[in-house]
Amino acid sequence: MSTKQCLSCGHTVQAAPFCSVCGAKLQPPEDSADTTGSASGNEASFRRYLLRLPNRAKLIAAGVIVLILAITIPAVLSSLPANIYKKAVRHFANKDYVSAYETIQKLRSDYKDVYILRPYYDAHVDFLRGDYKAAWNEFKDLEPYANSDEMAKESAYRYAAELEEYADNEEGLVEARSIFQELGDYRDAADKLEPGYWEYRRANNLMNKGDYSAAKDIFAALGNYKDSASMVAECDYRIAINIMNNGDYEYAKELFIELGGYSDSVAKINECDYVHAGALFSDGAYAQAKALYDSIPDYADASAKSAECDAQLAQMQERAKEQLIGKWLESYIDDPFGTGHNTSIGKQLIFIDGENLDVRMENFINHCTYEAEDSKLTIYTSGLLGTTIILGEYRFSISADGETLTVTDMTQYINGVNHPRDYTKVAES
């Protein structure tokens, strides 16, 4: 009795149409198999291999095959020229010009109309990026394809507008005018050709560059064209601002006065004084600073600043008094002659400047200037008339009428020689 092996369960069973163990259909003997079909020997072997697999393994194998097909088939389809072309056209329709150009680059130039789509898409990319000059030239070369004519005009218009707005030389404005002239009645190109337009534009460009003097000359020559007259005043205003910022407050103030009521010129007049006063205050010129602050009492905090000047002046006077009172008292105590003449404490000399004995009382009143043949000195005389002061190495004697100041070198006097020198009053304030 013949036997057969079941391909499903692997048992060897008695030859029959079905397996007596698992019930699966048994294969007929190999010599009775149909060899006239279309399947090759290899295919038959693979089929027999699948039949011998357990059911779960068959499912896994089928799933793997489906997955491979799912991955490879779309990739194969997407690489087809027709699909690449459609993708590029779809990007362009969605105004994604960069992706459209990058996609169309994957195709050969002899495929459909790729040869013209490439530069057409490229021109749109340049336009999108703001390179209007390049886009203009590219669209001109493509005319009359699609809307190249319209895009060439728009690109040219925008390029000329940029030249008009930002050109920093005469050549740029000349080029812009030529382009607008070529554009004819496109948009407002014709309006840009009226007399005076380009001179006015050039003056504005000069203003934007900070060349206000040159701009002013052009606006003045334009007379009543548009707002040229007021632009002359604007140039003067900006010139005055620059001068003020450079520290020439008095000249800037004069220019603001000449501008009358233009813009905030009146306020700028006060600002010049205020800023000038601040600079003087920083330099220690408190009296001058105070005078300016007092001239604009209602501007900003000018009144408070004036009070600060008063405080600084008072401190200067106190410091000077303390310094000289200390010197005077020291001279009086150490006086080897015991003259006792310096009894007017508080009415003292202020500064002695080098060899010329230039004695000053600054920020005080009632001081006199005396002169000898080769030197001059200034001394604070209020309360000192008819008295003698010993200060350091010198004795200062003032006549009762205040007209003569006698100076004696004490070092010479100590050596037994007295060489007094008389100074005659020449001024009093």
In the prediction, which pLDDT does 338 show? 39
Hey, CA dihedral for 181, 183, 185, 188, is it positive or negative?
Answer: negative
The DSSP call for residue 32 is G
% the chain with pLDDT above 70? 65
Q: Which two tokens stand for residue 268?
A: 């700028």
Please say if the pLDDT value at position 347 is more than 60.
no
Average pLDDT over residues 288-306: 93
Per-residue pLDDT tens for 115-131? Answer: 999 999 999 999 999 99
**Does the bond joining 144 to the residue before it have cis omega, within 30 degrees of 0?**
yes
- For residue 211, name the pLDDT band (cuts at 50, 70, 90): very high
How far, in Å, CA of 345 to CA of 138, rounded?
A: 96
In the prediction, which pLDDT does 401 show? 76
Please say if the pLDDT value at position 324 is more than 50.
no
Higher-confidence residue of 97 and 39: namely 97
- For residue 408, name the pLDDT band (cuts at 50, 70, 90): confident
How far, in Å, CA of 407 to CA of 419, rounded?
A: 9
How far, in Å, CA of 201 to CA of 206, rounded?
A: 9
Average pLDDT over residues 207-228: 93
- For residue 325, name the pLDDT band (cuts at 50, 70, 90): very low
In the prediction, which pLDDT does 402 show? 73
In the prediction, which pLDDT does 150 show? 96
Per-residue pLDDT tens for 268-277? Answer: 999 999 999 9
In the prediction, which pLDDT does 391 show? 60
Is the separation of the CB atoms in 202 and 218 below 8 Å? Answer: yes
Mean model confidence pLDDT for the chain: 77
Please state the pTM of the whole predicted model.
0.48
In the prediction, which pLDDT does 160 show? 94
Per-residue pLDDT tens for 62-107? Answer: 677 777 766 666 655 456 888 999 999 999 999 999 999 999 999 9
Higher-confidence residue of 73 and 176: namely 176
In the prediction, which pLDDT does 393 show? 63
- For residue 2, name the pLDDT band (cuts at 50, 70, 90): confident
Find the range with the poorest average confidence among 61-65, 177-181, 421-425. Answer: 61-65
In the prediction, which pLDDT does 244 show? 95
Please say if the pLDDT value at position 353 is more than 50.
no
Please say if the pLDDT value at position 358 is more than 50.
no
In the prediction, which pLDDT does 165 show? 84
Find the range with the poorest average confidence among 149-158, 181-190, 280-289. Answer: 280-289
One-letter identity of residue 189: A
How far, in Å, CA of 298 to CA of 351, rounded?
A: 38
- Tell me the angle at which helices 114-129 and 81-93 cross, rounded to the nearest 10 degrees: 30
Please say if the pLDDT value at position 136 is more than 80.
yes
In the prediction, which pLDDT does 49 show? 62
Burial class (CB in 10 A: 0-12, 13-18, 19+), 409: middle
Q: Which two tokens stand for residue 424?
A: 């005659």
Find the range with the poorest average confidence among 4-8, 318-322, 329-333. Answer: 329-333
How far, in Å, CA of 387 to CA of 396, rounded?
A: 8
Q: Which two tokens stand for residue 298?
A: 């209602």
Give backbone dihedrals phi and psi of 422, rounded to 5 degrees, phi first.
-95, 135
How far, in Å, CA of 305 to CA of 270, rounded?
A: 14
% the chain with pLDDT above 90? 45
